[in-house]
Amino acid sequence: MKYRLQIRGLRKRWLINSIGPVIVILALVAIFGSLGLTSVYYTSALSTLEAKATAGADYINTYGMTSYNDYYRSATLYTASFENADKIELQFINRYGRIETSSRGLMAGSRPSTPEIERAMLSGKMESYNGTDPETGEAIIAVSSPLEFNGVVVGVMRYVTATRQLDHQLMLTILAIVGVLLVLSALIFVSSLIFINNVVAPVAEVTAAAKRISGGSYGVQIPNHYSDEMGELVDNINDMSMKISQSEKMQTEFISSVSHELRTPLTAINGWGETLEDETDPANLRRGIGIITKEARRLTNMVEELLEFSKMQDGRFTLQVEEMDLQAELEDAVYTYRQLFRQEGIELEYDDGGEVYEQSIIGDPERIKQVLCNLLDNASKHGGSGKRISVAMRRAEEDYVITIRDYGPGIPEAELPFIKQKFYKGSSKARGSGIGLAVCDEIVERHSGTLTIGNAEGGGTVVTITLPIHNQE
């Protein structure tokens, strides 16, 4: 129930945040458009009346004001020939405010009481009125233009029209606009709803899969039917799920492996310790002490790897950097392991190309030594069956390149992409925790270098370390 509410909430927020502003904008367009149309319609109607009033008053003032009889005859004829009498009423009003003649006839003698008539007589200028007729209560537009005889206003020519038809036409236009906007709003709403539903459905599927993953179903894969950003998200979640599954599997194997690896040397140490309590034979004593020393050293290495891994996980993994002689550190590691390997029947070869590499690197000597020793130890454990290990150092432009190669069985191609992952041991039966290479890779990366592992031509495994040379400038 909670999940459904969340999905509805997502849809609701989308509609409010995306459709809401659009609806508000369309509503404002409708409101201001209606106001604009109203202004245009009424301004056009008023302009039409003013044009007629100006033309009519000019005609009467010019040709019909020679005497009262001529004026009255001109006004009567002008009224009788008025063409728009069905829509507009033409009135001639005397200076007392009474209608002398009208295009509707029955209005003669009446007194219109709209204010623009008096204003036109007093100002001698054309005046207009837009409002309600005080007598009929009808909405009208009226224009009054003064009529002059010898420079004195003797009456007004008044055009008046009801706005009923104008309002009706204006209302139909506004309704048409509102209808179009409503249809547009509905189309936007429906299209947005379809879009958000197309988003919500995969989100719901991804959320359900994520809950299953968080609940412990590592490795769950979501069917990917999408080719857009949602498809990328599904691919990323599938990849995350697979990596979590692999990591969980490797950690389980790691715990099992470490438990076994710790148990074996401890058993040997305990067994030989108990044996040596009563042992008097010097040969057996030396043999037992040698085994105890070897197993203790192996335990120490494993514990150090675990400590390094712990530091990597919680951010305590640091470097004490300084200028260092990489060639000297490499030669020291080779010298240290050469005698140990010889006891195991493994020949350790070293080739520096006959060069003395005087330029230093910036790094932590202890960490670099740890990497070199770990890789040499790995070469003996995993490739010692080849009875030969080759170490070489060269300069490649602004980098030093160190290669460590064994002549053993090599690494299966399918395992190469994972060989540096934490806890990964692959098909190797050699003892170890599975985190040594991960620690080495981390150290080299923090020295701005690279560590790559691959199979060498002719058999065996080759590890390549690249470290940048320190630029004195």
CA distance 388 to 384: 7
Give me the pLDDT at residue 9, please: 62
Ordered strands of the 461-468 beta sheet: 347-351, 388-396, 399-406, 461-468, 450-455
Residue with tokens 């959320």: 207
CA distance 91 to 108: 9
Assess whether pLDDT exceeds 50 at residue 4.
Answer: no
Nearest Cα to 158, choosing from 188, 194, 127, 184?
A: 127
CB burial of 331-344 (b: ≥16 within 10 Å; e: otherwise) equals bebbeebbeebeee
Mutual angle of helices 326-343 and 365-383, in 10-degree steps: 30
Q: Using CA atoms of 260, 261, 264, 270 in order, give the dihedral in degrees to the nearest 10.
A: -110
Element (H, E) at 425: none
Q: Which residues pair with 102 in a beta bridge?
A: 91
Give me the pLDDT at residue 349, please: 92
Nearest Cα to 166, choosing from 34, 45, 83?
A: 45
pLDDT tens by residue, 191-203: 877 777 777 777 7
Give me the pLDDT at residue 2, please: 40
Residue type, 92: F
pLDDT tens by residue, 337-355: 888 888 888 899 999 988 8
The full set of domains in the chain, from first to last, is 2-168 (3.30.450.20), 229-307 (1.10.287.130), 322-468 (3.30.565.10)
pLDDT tens by residue, 424-458: 666 565 555 567 788 888 889 989 999 999 998 88
Give me the pLDDT at residue 403, please: 94
Q: For residue 174, what are its two tokens? A: 């506004």
DSSP, collapsed to helix, strand or coil, labels residue 434 as: coil
CA distance 459 to 473: 42
DSSP, collapsed to helix, strand or coil, labels residue 469 as: coil
Assess whether pLDDT exceeds 50 at residue 414.
Answer: yes
Give me the pLDDT at residue 129, please: 93
Would you say the pTM of this structure is higher than 0.75?
no
pLDDT tens by residue, 131-175: 998 888 889 999 999 998 888 888 899 999 988 888 888 899 889
Where does residue 281 fall: left (phi above 0), alpha (psi -120 to 50 degrees), or beta otherwise?
A: beta
Nearest Cα to 159, choosing from 53, 60, 56?
A: 53
Q: Which residues does 100 contact at the CB level (< 8 Å), separation at least 6? A: 72, 75, 92, 93, 94, 108, 155
